[in-house]
Structure 1
Amino acid sequence: MKSLFNEEAYKEVINRINNLKDNSQRQWGKMSLGQMAWHCQYPLKIAIKNKESDKKANFIIRLFVKKSMYNDKPWRKSLPTAPALKTKEEKDITTEIEKLKELVIEFYALKAREKWHSHPVFGVLTHDQWGKMEYKHLDHHLKQFGV
């Protein structure tokens, strides 16, 4: 499984983001390109801020979903999205893609971080799991838009 902390995977993701165009068409799902770029920023922000969560991770989610966040098995298309990561508003494509790229760069810069707080949904994640989860999420949505 690739990790966003790996230089090669990081460069690949940046290149794929750069290949998104205003006319990039989704292959599945309901999000527009701007909405997808906005959506992909949220998990990166959680990791970058590295704040202790006052939420307790749901045992069922940790048991059945957590491993799927960072294993080699691709996610199926059109998975439901958590309400906090959805927007009904149309988002400016150029602005949201640029913000996404900046957050990917900022996340990669944390490749030497040793202390990670718990994820608000998945609980404790290792450094390796954070890198894999962020890569897998971005990979899924970049494929959604053909890059």
Structure 2
Amino acid sequence: MKTVFEPSTRSELIDRVNLLTENSNRLWGKMNVYQMAKHCTIWFEWVLGKDKPVYKVDFLGKLFGRMALKSNTKDDKPIGKNMPAGKFAIKEKEGDLKQQQMVLIKCIEEFENYDNPDFVHDFFGQMTKDQIGVFSYKHADHHLRQFGV
């Protein structure tokens, strides 16, 4: 399975991020290309532990998170369309896409030296490093496919 901890996978994601343009149209969902890039950036920063986030498992996660985690990390099956963005929804509709792409790429590159033992997903709960790597790839892949790259 692909994981953000593999250099070739990070390189693939970076190449795909670089294919995004202001004219990239979504194939599903509500976010525009800028919102998607910012959403992915904020999500990666959360996983990386930027700005010392407080990690807490939501109530529904405590009930169903482990089962959902296993389902989402057991194989190469991509994440389905139209999953909600949750607490990482981006309200601002416009911004500098090129700048946001650079910040997103920097986040992807930082997985080379990933070290955040405190990370706990708000729905899945505690995750192994392998699960973090696989799901982080799937999350980025989901949104890049959303914009046809």
TM-score by length of 1: 0.85
Shift, 1:107, TM fit: 2.3
Question: Match for 1:99 among 103, 123, 127?
Answer: 103
Whole-angstrom distance in 1 between the partners of 2:26 and 2:11? 22
Q: Across the two proteins, how many residue pairs are aligned to each other?
A: 144
Shift, 1:98, TM fit: 1.6
Tell whether the 8 Å contact from 2:25 to 2:147 is kept in structure 1 after alignment. yes
Whole-angstrom distance in 2 between the partners of 1:75 and 1:26? 16
Range with bigger deviation, 65-74 or 128-137: 65-74
Range with bigger deviation, 120-129 or 47-56: 47-56
Which residue does 1:122 correspond to in 2?
124
Determine if the alignment matches structure 1 residue 16 to structure 2 residue 16: yes
Distance change >3 Å, CA 89–CA 115, structure 1 → 2: closer
1:43-122 alignment, distance < 5 Å: 43-49=43-49, 53=54, 55-57=56-58, 58-71=61-74, 72-82=76-86, 84-92=87-95, 93-110=97-114, 113=115, 115-122=117-124
Determine if the alignment matches structure 1 residue 42 to structure 2 residue 42: yes
Whole-angstrom distance in 1 between the partners of 2:143 and 2:53? 27
Whole-angstrom distance in 2 between the partners of 1:90 and 1:68? 32
Unaligned runs of 5+ residues in structure 1 are none
Unaligned runs of 5+ residues in structure 2 are none
RMSD over aligned Cα, in angstroms?
2.1
Whole-angstrom distance in 2 between the partners of 1:114 and 1:43? 14
TM-score by length of 2: 0.84
Distance change >3 Å, CA 48–CA 2, structure 1 → 2: same
> Between the two proteins, what is the percent identity of the paired residues?
36
Tell whether the 8 Å contact from 1:5 to 1:108 is kept in structure 2 after alignment. yes
Whole-angstrom distance in 2 between the partners of 1:141 and 1:54? 23
Tell whether the 8 Å contact from 1:37 to 1:100 is kept in structure 2 after alignment. yes
Which residue does 1:31 correspond to in 2?
31
Whole-angstrom distance in 1 between the partners of 2:25 and 2:53? 37
Distance change >3 Å, CA 68–CA 95, structure 1 → 2: farther
